[in-house]
Structure 1
Amino acid sequence: MLQAHSTIRVTGAERLLTLLCEHFAEHGEVVSEVGRGRVSFEYGTAVLASDDDTLRVDVASVDPIQLSYLKIGIAEHLAEFHEGELPEISWQGDGLPAGSPLPWFRELEVVRSEALTPHMRRVHLRGEDIGRFAQGGYHVYLIFPPKDRSPIWPVMGDSGLPVWPQGEDALTRRVYTIRSIDAARGELVVDIVVHPGDETPGSDFALGARPGDLVGITGPGGGEAPQGENLVLMGDDTALPAIARILEDLPAGTRATVIVEVDGPADEVNLVSKADLDIRFHHRQGAEPGTFGALPRALRDLDWQAIGPDPFVWAACEFQDFKAIRAHLRGELRMSRDRHLVVAYWRRGRPGH
C-alpha cells in the first residue's frame, strides 16, 4: 500500500474538513465525526483530521496514479472551499516528486491525417505505453502546444496538482473520443470535427496536422457503452465518434435506434455493429450547427412501442439541444434518470464548451 500525508496550516480547518467530507460523500463512503473523517473510494482512502488551524490529510492507494488522483482531489477541493488564498500544500511519503511528468500523460506523434467527411478529419497518432487509454472510458483530453514552439508539458507540483506552462508556452486542452486504439502497436485514432472560428485549436490541429507533429493526451474517462437491450443513441457531428464506438461494442441481440444530425449526405459515416440497427441521418442543409433542432424533433416523433420495452436513451449534442432532449425525457416522458444519459458536448458561441 502506497501512503502519503500533508499537514496544512489553514484557518477554519474544521469547517474545511466538514465541507470535504460532505462533497466526497457523493463519490465514496464517508465516516465522519467532529474533527475527523475517513473517505473510502474504489481506488484508495483519505483520512482527514482537524486541530485548531491545522488540517492533516493521509491518503493511501495500491497504485501510484490513483494516489496522485487522491492528492489532486484534496488540493482541488481545498482551493474550491477555502476562502482566500490557497494554503501551502506539500506531500510527504510515497508518490511522484514535484517536477515529474504526469503519470496519466503521454506524448503522441502524428502519423497521418485524412479527410473522413467534408466536416471531419481522422488523425492517426502514435506513442509509447498507451495501454491505459484502452480501458476506463472513451474520452480523453488532447493537449495542443502553441504553434511553432516546442511543447513544454505539465509536471507534478508540490501540492499534488499539475503545474501547467504559462505565457507563450501555455497549452490548450479539448475533450475528444478515442475512435480506435491498438495499444500493442502504440497507435491511436481520433476523429475531429473541423469548423470555422477564432478559437478552434482542435480543428486547427486536425486541418494542419503533419507527420511528426506532437500533441499531448491525458485520461481516459467517461463515455462507455450504455447497457440495455433496446437503445436510442442520438447526437450531432461531435458525437459521431462516440456513437460509432458504442455501436462497435454492443453485443448481438441488442437493438439500437441511431439518430444523427449532420450537414448533408456527404457527412454521413458508415456505422458498424453486431446489434440490430435502425439508423436515421437528419441533414441541416447548410444551417448553422446548434440551431437546426433535428434531434429534439426526432425524439418527439419516436414510436416508443416500436423501440421496445425498457429503452435506454443516450444523447450528446449542443447545449440547447441537450436541454430540450433532457426536458422531454424527464418531463413529458417521465423517464427515470437511470434510463437515460444526456450530455452537452459543446455550447454555441462558447469556445471550449
Structure 2
Amino acid sequence: MRTPFVLAAAGLALAALSACSSEPQAGGPSPAQAKDGKITVAATDTECKVAASEISSGTSTFAITNGGSKVTEFYVYAPGDRVMGEVENIVPGLTREVIVELPPGSYEATCKPGMVGKGIRNALKVSGAHQPLSADAKLAEATAGYKRYIKSQSDTLLAKTEEFTEAVKAGDIDKAKGLYPVARTYWERIEPVAEIFGDLDPAIDAREADLENGQEWTGFHRIEKDLWIKKDVAKDGPIADRLMTDVKTIVQKANEAQLSPLQLANGAKELLDEVATGKITGEEDIWSHTDLWDFDANLQGSKAAVQALRPVLEERAPDLVKTLDEKFAGAEAALGAHQKGDGWELHDKLSKEELKALSDAINALAEPISRIASVVAK
C-alpha cells in the first residue's frame, strides 16, 4: 500500500512534469487544429477526440488535454503497435505535448484512460514526402551513437538476466535477490527503446497494480514478489524462462530498430517521467525497495540520449546545454548522497525530506529536457 506521503509526492511530481509542456486548460476542449499547427487531442475517460485524421509526413506536435477524471496516456502506434511517440501520466485537467516524426503510412492515435488496456483508437493517415531528420549528418551520428550505447547495455542485460534467471531456477534466493536490481539496471537504461515494441515491455516489466482482469503476470516483478514476499521460487522456473526469452527478443528488436532523433529526445524525457512517477514514490519495486537502482539507471539512460544529441544541441541551443549540464550534476549529486557500496540505500529507508530533495532535483532537470525535442525538430 502507498503511504499518504507517497501519494502526495507522486501528485506533486506529476504536476511539475506536466507543467513542463503547457498550461492547464479547464474542462475538455473540443478538438481543433491549433493556430500554432499543433494537433489537439481532447481526452476524457470515454473519448479520445483527435483534431486531424490525415496529416502530412514529417514532424507533428500533439497537444493532449485530459478532461476526464482518470490519469491517461497518449500513443501514436504504427502497425503491430510499434510506438512512434507517447506521453504517459497525463493527469486530469492538464495538457502535455509530444513531437513525433512520422513517415507516410497508416497509424493509430490512441488515448488510454486509466493507463490500461488497448485504449481508444483513432485512424491517422500520414501522406506526402518529407526529408527525415536523420538526413542531417549530426542527427544521423547522434542516433548511431545512441544505438551503440543501446547495444552495449543490451549485451550486459542479456548476461545479467541470464545469471538472475539461473539463480531463480536453482532456488538460490539470496543470489537472485542480489542480482535482481543489477539486471534491472540495464533494462531501465534501454527502456525507451524497449517500450517501442507492443506487448513485450509489459511482459517483462508489468507491476501487479498494472494488470487487467485475466492478464497473465510475467516478468521481473512477478519474480520479485515471490523472492521477497513468498520467499519461495520453486514454481518460478517457467516464469524465469519466459523472462529470458522475452529479454532476448526485445534486445534483438532494439538493436535492429531504426530510430528517429526525436525518439532520443522523447526517450530522455520519458526516463525522467519514470523516476518521478515510480521510483520516487517507491511503487516500482514495491517489495524489494530497490527503486534507487532503477532511479540511477533511468538518470544515466537519459543522460546517454542527451549526450548523443550534444553536438546538435551545442550548435542550436548552447544555453540549453549549459542548463542541462548543471541540472544533471544536481540530480546526480542528490542521488549520490544515498549511494551504499556498489549499490544504493533501500527506498523505505529514506525520509520524506530526502525523497523530496530527490524529487526536486528530477523536476529541475525535467524542464530543460522537455525543450530538447523542439530543438531537434527545427
TM-score by length of 2: 0.29
Answer 1 or 2: which has greater strand percent: 1
Answer 1 or 2: which has greater helix percent: 2
Of structures 1 and 2, the larger Rg is shown by 1
TM-score by length of 1: 0.30
